[in-house]
Amino acid sequence: MSSSPLPGLERKIGPLQATAINMTQMCGIGPFVTIPAMVVTLGGPQAMFGWLIGAVIALADGLIWAELGAALPGAGGTYVYLREAFGSRTGRLMPFLFAWSAVLFIPLIMSTGIIGLVQYLGYLIPGVADDGGTTGLGKVIGLGVIAAIVLALFRKIGEIGKLTTVLFAIMLFAALSVIVAAFTHFDGAQAFAFTPGAFSFDGGAFWAGLGAGLIIAIYDYLGYNTSAYLGGEVRDPGRTLPRSIILSILGIMSLYFLLQLGVLGSVPLEELKNATSVASTVLEQAWGTGAAKVITVFIVIAAIGSVFAGLLGGSRVPFEAARDKVFLPVFARLHPKLNLPTAGVLTMGVITAIGSLFTLTAVINAAVTVLVLIQSLAQVAAIVVLRRRRPELERPYRQWLYPIPTVIALLGWVYIYFSATWLSIGLSVGWIALGVAAFLAYAKAERVWPFGPKGIQESFAGAAAEGNVK
């Protein structure tokens, strides 16, 4: 049957805005705080290749998102894909587990933006951050920033799209400024002074640290799927979603590589490894303290924009789940005037605030492991299942060279997952197990699968599907 229109959600996001939302979410503060960690993890200037390998995995995964998003453009992204792929076999289990996990991993990823933002505020405001991380004052400021972002999200989606485009322009200016500053005093010999034996398979520093480095890299690329979360509010999603996803990955890959290369060639290696606000250091060396402080303000604004875009897309996940009666009913309610999912915005804002109180590395590992288990690997299975079981499903975009990108994504995600800390892996498995227990309690109370009928229907089919509505 064809999908009924999503009540209250309006298709106001065009191609430029969709790409801007993705890139704003992707860049934010990420590379500005993780470049030193990448250098330490991979053992030297060879860190630049970590970004490129991460980009290959991100692009392969992005092509999965592009096909699924174009064919099934509903609010919540992965929630819709898992519902359509697995609903006929396991009822509401897979979409429930995704909604259960997304309410955790999406705001955790956003909290890393707040942690990094406060680190850069430490360059501007003494006492906000130190070598040990964020101070008590910094944590209070971070909580205040989260509250301001949540309040800013309470506006119509058309206004949000315009605001995100402005934030994207600020992010681009900040990133390009750091790149230009770095290349004004670039030392090629320093940038390419690879550690002897770094690429040796027998104990080479690059290969030894590649797994942990890819966790950092993929964390920095995350966000290329944000427009897919907003699939129910994108105009002409069959064309807009694939383009926004692919263009944002290629664009951010170029920015990240130039940032890493420029920093390697302008900051001595030992100083770089211990830097807490490396972009500010580069800017100060090139143009002095005044210019560095001005552009650092733009970096902070870019970080705010990243969190803003992430919470914007993420809040739509529990909305769609609750609308299907797979999640708490309160998440299905829209604001009476602004047409936004109030409970999703507020809940993710609260979890972002809690996550901002922990260390950056701990939060990245926890968020990435949960995401890989129930989103990335599940979508690899979903695209294969839908290709085989739903060949009639209209696909405005079909993955290039299928199944090669899907296989690359699968191998990349498995490698990244088992490269995380054992604590993070244990927590991710524990969270999913807790979700299964919660689902079984819910299913028994609602008398749905496995205690009754599957209670879920496929909402996208044939040419009448909502994916073809402009």
pLDDT at res. 232: 85
DSSP H or E stretch at residue 369: helix 360-371
Of 93, 99, 362, the closest CA to residue 219 belongs to 362
User: Does residue 44 register a pLDDT over 60?
Assistant: yes
Read off the DSSP letter of residue 133: E
| Mean pLDDT estimate for the chain | 88
User: Does residue 362 register a pLDDT over 50?
Assistant: yes
In 324-424, beta strands by DSSP E? none
Average the pLDDT over 319-323 and give the result. Answer: 85
pLDDT at res. 5: 42
pLDDT at res. 131: 64
DSSP H or E stretch at residue 58: helix 47-71
pLDDT at res. 459: 66
Distance CA(397)–CA(59), nearest Å, equals 15
Positive or negative torsion for Cα 101, 104, 110, 116: negative
pLDDT at res. 190: 93
> Is the distance from CB of 145 to CB of 356 less than 8 angstroms?
no
**Token pair 């769609």: residue:** 320
Integer-rounded Cα Rg, in Å, for the chain is: 22
> Is the distance from CB of 44 to CB of 277 less than 8 angstroms?
no
pLDDT at res. 462: 46
Which amino acid, one-letter code, is at 226?
Answer: T
- pLDDT > 90: what percent of the chain? 59
pLDDT at res. 203: 65
- pLDDT > 70: what percent of the chain? 93
pLDDT at res. 145: 95
Higher-scoring residue by pLDDT: 317, 159 = 317
Q: How confident is the model at residue 210 (pLDDT cuts 50, 70, 90)?
A: very high
Distance CA(345)–CA(149), nearest Å, equals 10
| Residues 247-291: tens digit of each pLDDT | 999 999 999 999 999 999 999 988 998 888 899 999 999 999 999
Q: How confident is the model at residue 327 (pLDDT cuts 50, 70, 90)?
A: confident
Q: What is the DSSP string of 288-308?
A: -HHHHHHHHHHHHHHHHHHHH
Average the pLDDT over 12-38 and give the result. Answer: 88
pLDDT at res. 458: 63
> Is the distance from CB of 333 to CB of 341 less than 8 angstroms?
yes
User: Does residue 311 register a pLDDT over 50?
Assistant: yes
Higher-scoring residue by pLDDT: 349, 130 = 349
User: Does residue 375 register a pLDDT over 90?
Assistant: yes
User: Does residue 59 register a pLDDT over 70?
Assistant: yes
| Residues 117-147: tens digit of each pLDDT | 998 998 898 888 766 567 888 899 999 999 9
Q: How confident is the model at residue 324 (pLDDT cuts 50, 70, 90)?
A: confident
Q: How confident is the model at residue 9 (pLDDT cuts 50, 70, 90)?
A: low
222-233: buried (b, 16+ CB within 10 Å) or exposed (e) per residue?
bbbbbbbbbbbb
Distance CA(367)–CA(240), nearest Å, equals 28
pLDDT at res. 179: 95
User: Does residue 13 register a pLDDT over 80?
Assistant: yes
Distance CA(267)–CA(277), nearest Å, equals 12
pLDDT at res. 326: 87
Distance CA(135)–CA(141), nearest Å, equals 10
Average the pLDDT over 322-347 and give the result. Answer: 88
Q: What is the DSSP string of 211-249?
A: HHHHHHHHHHHTTTTHHHHBGGGBSSHHHHHHHHHHHHH
User: Does residue 2 register a pLDDT over 50?
Assistant: no
Of 333, 409, 352, the closest CA to residue 63 belongs to 409
